[in-house]
Amino acid sequence: MIIHIDMDAFYASVEIRDNPELAGKPVVVGGSPTGRGVISAASYEARKYGIHSAMPSHEALRKCPHAVFIKNRMSHYAAISRQIRAIFFSFTSLVEPLSLDEAFLDVGGCLRLFGSGPEIARQIKSKIFAETGLVASAGVAPNKFLAKIASDLDKPDGLTIVDPEDIHAFLDPLPIARVWGIGPKTRHKFTRLGVHTIAQLRQLDLKLLQTQLGDSANHFYKLARGIDDRPVIPDRIAKSVSHEHTFPLDIRADEVLSAWLHELADLVGRRLRRHEIFSKTIQLKLRYDDFETITRRKTIAATHSTQMLFETANRLLADVNRSADRGVRLIGLGAANLSRSTAQQMALFDQEDQQKQSRVDQISDSIRDKFGQKSLNRGSNLEHKIRLRPDPRIGNED
């Protein structure tokens, strides 16, 4: 028996809990509406105006001029998330977090101790509210796919139970967009076939699906039948770790972009080291002033060294064929292909340098752990100030 717990409008709900005067108001958590930020979360009052996560902040302001905008407090949300996760572990050790505000729980081994799956979900929801003052929705089902859908159907404060004997009846009326992996392009393919609901998807022949969708056909064929054999995997390694920065001004100076890459490498490297994981694939992301977005990646020996992350990303930046008049709106650095082992062989002449970099990382991490992220800066970060000076290479603010 699988339970999916999803905190309702988590970031916004935390802000309302901490400041009761915000109750009933359209609360938006994210970047400033006068800049280039995006929405991280919106209260249900704000959602009535069409505001949703990942929406540009200025668009949210246009939709709801009287919305209350609040800068996110990720460390605060993370601390509350740990509190909620401790509640999960008080029921089962099989907890698979998906993000700060949602997780899968396999409660099959604790039914005799705590009762049925629905009863355990009720206890978890009640305990979360009692200890944090926050509301969660839950889906209870035979597998992860069904539990994830169920938790989203009756928000906020919902509890939806999928009977193993009525899986098709549960799925049939739902739109195909509920199926994992069906995005706009795939949905368009199904629309041409006259398929709009999961019931219609299940009626399609597997060979026809394979003709239309190739290797992903089996995936959709199984999910349309409610088949999902994936186990709940506790303490799973994330697929990637990344940080991005959106500039208030379009940046054209390579030295500024390079300096920001160093700062992003600091952030990504620190997260990798904190979780004792290593990356073999480094990715650079650039978004230009016309919103065109490109990515470049390179596979290297497994590392969590800030310097190695920076040097690899900086080489990728140097290899980008970017004309001098194209401003950069956003830059990002990501680490993927993660593992808990370095699984690498260093040349003898590399070992001393690697050890030095490791010591630098350890010292900088300990300083920041004690005094905060901004307590220590690399000299290259002074280049950020270039963007604040009148400079013909830097575009005008939107």
Residue 355: predicted pLDDT: 56
Return the CATH number of the domain spanning residue range 240-388: 3.30.1490.100
Could you confirm whether 263 is annotated as catalytic? no
Q: Which CATH architecture has domain 10-74?
A: 3-Layer(aba) Sandwich (3.40)
Kindly report the CA angle at 294 between 289 and 295, in degrees rounded to 5?
A: 140
**pLDDT tens track, the chain, 398 positions:** 999 999 999 999 999 999 999 999 999 999 888 877 889 999 999 999 999 988 899 999 999 999 999 998 988 999 999 999 999 999 999 999 988 999 999 999 989 889 999 999 999 999 999 999 999 999 999 999 999 999 999 999 999 999 999 999 999 999 999 998 888 888 888 898 899 999 999 998 898 888 888 888 899 999 999 999 999 988 766 778 888 888 888 898 889 999 999 999 999 999 888 878 999 999 999 999 888 899 999 999 999 999 999 999 999 999 998 777 789 999 999 999 988 865 544 444 454 555 556 665 666 666 555 555 454 555 545 445 544 343 333 333 33
Write the pLDDT tens digit of every residue in 65-78.
999 999 989 889 99
**According to the model, what pLDDT value does residue 189 have?**
87
2-8+77-167 and 10-74 share one fold? no
CATH class of 168-223: mainly alpha
Could you give the percent of the chain with pLDDT greater than 90? 59
Residue closest to 332 by CA, chosen among 265, 235, 234? 265
Average pLDDT, the chain: 86
For the chain, the structural domain boundaries read 2-8+77-167, 10-74, 168-223, 240-388
The CATH number of 2-8+77-167, from 3.30.300.30, 3.30.70.270, 1.10.357.10, 3.40.50.1860, is 3.30.70.270
Q: Which of 15, 45, 96, 102 is catalytic?
A: 102
pTM: 0.70
Task: Indicate if the alpha-carbon torsion angle 316, 318, 321, 322 is positive or negative.
Answer: positive
- Please state, in angstroms and rounded to a whole number, the distance separating the CA atoms of residues 349 and 256: 31
Backbone angles phi, psi at 150, to 5 degrees: -60, -40
Phi-psi region of 343 (alpha: psi -120 to 50; beta: other; left: phi over 0): left
- pLDDT recorded at residue 366: 61
- The reported pLDDT for the residue numbered 158 is 97
